[in-house]
Each structure stands twice: as C-alpha cells, then as structure tokens.
A and B are shown apart, each in its own frame.
Chain A
Amino acid sequence: MTGVFPCPDGSVVRPPHCQPMFHRVLAAQELAVRQALIDMCARFAGPDRDAASRAELVLAEVMNNIVQHGTGRGKEPASSAAGMAVTIHLTVARHKGGLCCAVRDDGRPLPPSCLLADAPAVDLVVPPCSGFGWPIVRALTQSLFYYREGTRNVLSFNVPLVEGGALGTPCSDVA
C-alpha cells in the first residue's frame, strides 16, 4: 500500500514516480488534528505545497467537524458534555491528479446534507459566524464521496494540484 518494499538487507525499493502515502491514526481532539495537519503539510512540501495547503484547510474543516459533531461534544470544549471518544484515520496520497484524501472515523453519522446542499447565499450585511466549513470543503475538492460503513464514516475526495484544476487520474491510480 505504501509503495515501499523492504528488502532483506533493510534497504527499501520505491517504484519510480511513487511516493509513500501519509497515514495517521489520531484521537478526535483539536491538538491532535493540528499536529496531523502540520505533519501532512511537511510531508507534501515542495512542488505540491499549494495543493497541500488546500488539503490542509479541507482536512481541518473535516476533522474539526468530527471533533465537534462526530463526538457529540459541540463547539465549546469547556462544555460539560465531554462527548464520546472518537478515533480518526487519515490517509493522503499523491497521484498524478492531486492529493487523494480519505478520512475515516467511528463517530456519529455525518448528515448527508453537508455534502449535497448548495451553499446558501451568505448574508453580507450580517454575516454568520459559522457554517463556512462545508462550503470550503466543496469548493476545494473533487469527487467528494461519503458513505457509512457499519459504525464508521468514510469521506474521500481529491484536491487537485492546481486550484480549480481539472480532475486527473482517478484516486485509485496512486502510482
């Protein structure tokens, strides 16, 4: 899965044009989310920096949504409702068309309306203070896809190498 094949002498062989994917298992907590994002960006720094920055923003919105709503805790960390313990599995893989991301968690189901609804027109006279997360996710991703697998949420999407760029090869074409 990682594209890296260990040899008996301890060295690794990496096929040409193939980078190992980024994978992290983390608790659904703000600090753990922040660290995972910092590490993911460091991993894809260099020529893919801009795509990594967009992926960072999208993944922040997705994972903080899990922290707040997947756990049932709500927006206020200090609230008495501690929420349930939720584990997030984050995977990011570079392919020819961009950064393919998958987020899995064992929290509450994601309301499908988050993905389907068109962004409501923003009131520019009295702008809201929240509700910007999913419009940001929809604006910066391609092939956004969600399903519930038993007790888990699975969300996957592609972040193109160029903002608004054409969809390249499918996510399955990691190499």
Chain B
Amino acid sequence: MQLTTLPLPGGIHVRLDESRLDAVIAIRFKDRLREIVAHHGPLILLDLGAVDFMDSSGLGAILAIRRTLPDSRRIELTGVTPNVDRVLRLTHMDTIFTIHRDSDPAGNRA
C-alpha cells in the first residue's frame, strides 16, 4: 500500500497510489493516514486520483480519521473519480467533505 506525501502551503498533499481503496487495504490505509495527520496540517489534501474503485470500508477508513482530527485540522478530497464520487454521493458524504473538482487541484500549487 503506497502513499505519497508532498508538503503544501498550510498542510500536506497525500496521494494514494493504489487503484483500489477496498477491504484489502482499508485498515493499513487508515493506520498510515493516522500517522500522517498526526504530524501535518492543518490541511490534509487527500488525492484519490489513482483510485478507480472504493467501497464502504475505504470510505469508513477516511471517515474514521476525519472523526479523530482536532478541530484545527481538516481533510479535503481531490482527484475524485466517477466510482469514488458515486460512493460519496450515495452515502451523502459528498456534503461533508470539501471536494476539489477543478483540473488544477490545490496539490499542484506546491
């Protein structure tokens, strides 16, 4: 399970270099992301551009991290592909995350 991090002004860009955020990697992903958010912020820009499949266990991992964030830190999403977008929409989680949908996500400004 591969995560690539890049410093951003005001936070960190975290790219998941996996095509599937599913039950196989959900727990490892959650543990790695938890380490990262403990040391960076306040913005955690999670780049899911490589992910073309996510199930509820993957979503649950992101939500579990979001839930334990201090108020000063926030997770925002970028690179959301159609299948990931579908899961966010069906679960109404598209309303709780800031989702960068422009072609020049904040991560590219670093």
Question: Residues of A within 8 Å of B, CB-based: how many?
Answer: 30
Question: Quick check: B96 and A30 within 8 Å, CB to CB?
Answer: no
**B17–chain A nearest beta-carbon distance, Å:** 17
Residues in B neighbouring A128, C-beta threshold 8 A: 63
* Alpha-carbon gap, A72 to B43, bound state (A): 39
Interface centre among B24, B56, B59, B66 (most CB of A within 10 A): B56
Question: Residues of B within 8 Å of A, CB-based: how many?
Answer: 26
Question: Quick check: B24 and A57 within 8 Å, CB to CB?
Answer: no
Give residues of chain B (18-38) contacting chain A, Cβ–Cβ below 8 Å.
Answer: 20, 22-24, 27
Residues in A neighbouring B59, C-beta threshold 8 A: 132
Question: Quick check: A132 and B24 within 8 Å, CB to CB?
Answer: no
Which of these, B23, B53, B82, B93, contacts A30 with CB under 8 Å?
B23
Question: Quick check: A130 and B60 within 8 Å, CB to CB?
Answer: yes
**A132–chain B nearest beta-carbon distance, Å:** 4
Give residues of chain A (56-92) contacting chain B, Cβ–Cβ below 8 Å.
Answer: 56-57, 60-61, 64, 67-68, 76-78
Residues in A neighbouring B67, C-beta threshold 8 A: 126-127, 129
Nearest chain B residue, comparing its CB with the CB of A60: B55
Give residues of chain B (73-110) contacting chain A, Cβ–Cβ below 8 Å.
Answer: 82-83, 86-87, 90-93, 95-96
Contact A31:B92 (CB < 8 A) given known A61-B56, A130-B56: no
* A-B contacts, CB under 8 A, total: 72
Interface centre among B55, B61, B86 (most CB of A within 10 A): B55
- Does A96 sit at the interface, judged by CB under 8 A? no
* Alpha-carbon gap, A64 to B23, bound state (A): 7
- Does B6 sit at the interface, judged by CB under 8 A? no
Residues in B neighbouring A78, C-beta threshold 8 A: 27
Q: What would 25 A/B residue contacts be, using CB atoms closer than 8 Å?
A: A30-B22, A30-B23, A31-B24, A34-B20, A34-B24, A53-B53, A56-B53, A57-B53, A57-B55, A60-B53, A64-B55, A124-B92, A127-B63, A127-B67, A127-B93, A129-B60, A129-B67, A130-B56, A130-B60, A132-B59, A132-B90, A133-B56, A135-B91, A136-B56, A136-B91
Q: Which residues from chain B sit less than 8 Å from chain A, CB to CB?
A: 20, 22-24, 27, 53, 55-57, 59-61, 63-64, 66-67, 82-83, 86-87, 90-93, 95-96
